[in-house]
């Protein structure tokens, strides 16, 4: 998901896209700790849709100490982390691992990364990857 600050839509416009098992992952352009009015609108909508925020424990903006990339979920167990490696973006990519009730060696294959550049948005879903401590240096929040 990419929600530019200048978006012409509001959060309620997305309500019909929410299912009973849902994860929305991406650049919300709202820092829940610092953008009071924007975060109240987002959290009010998320609460109405039974979506809970899952925020990585490291800032995602390269230019500031703000976390504007995260996930909202309702009933899907997963973890989220900020990738701390190099990137050409002004955002640090976020990675998420879904728990599907299978052995960890199987579920480690589900990885999603969202990268935002200054002018464009690039979202890549990798479905056959293995993430190890030697390839990803990140902090993890489980939701």
**What is the model's pTM?**
0.68
Query: Domain residue spans in the chain?
Result: 11-142
pLDDT digits over 55-109, tens only? 998 989 888 889 999 999 998 889 999 988 888 888 999 999 888 766 554 434 3
pLDDT digits over 29-64, tens only? 999 988 788 999 999 999 999 999 999 989 898 888
Q: How far apart (Å, rounded) are the C-alpha atoms in residues 107 and 100? A: 6
* Mean pLDDT to the nearest integer, 130-142: 39
Q: Provide the pLDDT for residue 139.
A: 44
* Mean pLDDT to the nearest integer, 7-34: 92
Q: Provide the pLDDT for residue 57.
A: 82
Shortest CA distance to 91 belongs to which of 111, 112, 119, 125? Answer: 119
Q: Provide the pLDDT for residue 12.
A: 95
**The dihedral formed by the CA atoms of 46, 49, 54 and 59, expressed in degrees to the nearest 10:** -30
Residue 11: other Cβ atoms inside 10 A: 20
Look at residue 1 and tell me whether its pLDDT is greater than 50.
yes
Backbone φ and ψ for 57, nearest 5 degrees, come out as -90, 20
């Amino acid at each position: 998901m990419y929600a530019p600050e200048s978006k012409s839509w509001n959060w309620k416009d997305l309500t019909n896209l929410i299912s009973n098992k849902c994860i929305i992952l991406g650049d919300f352009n709202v820092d829940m700790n610092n953008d009071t009015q924007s975060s109240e609108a987002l959290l009010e909508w998320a609460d109405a849709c039974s979506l809970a925020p899952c925020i990585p424990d490291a800032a995602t903006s390269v230019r500031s100490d703000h976390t504007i990339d995260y996930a909202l979920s309702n009933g899907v167990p997963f973890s989220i982390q900020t990738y701390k490696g190099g990137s050409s973006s002004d955002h640090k990519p976020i990675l998420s691992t879904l728990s599907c009730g299978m052995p960890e060696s199987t579920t480690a294959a589900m990885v999603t990364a969202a990268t935002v550049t200054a002018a464009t948005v690039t979202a890549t879903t990798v479905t056959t990857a293995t993430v190890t401590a030697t390839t990803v240096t990140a902090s993890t929040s489980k939701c």
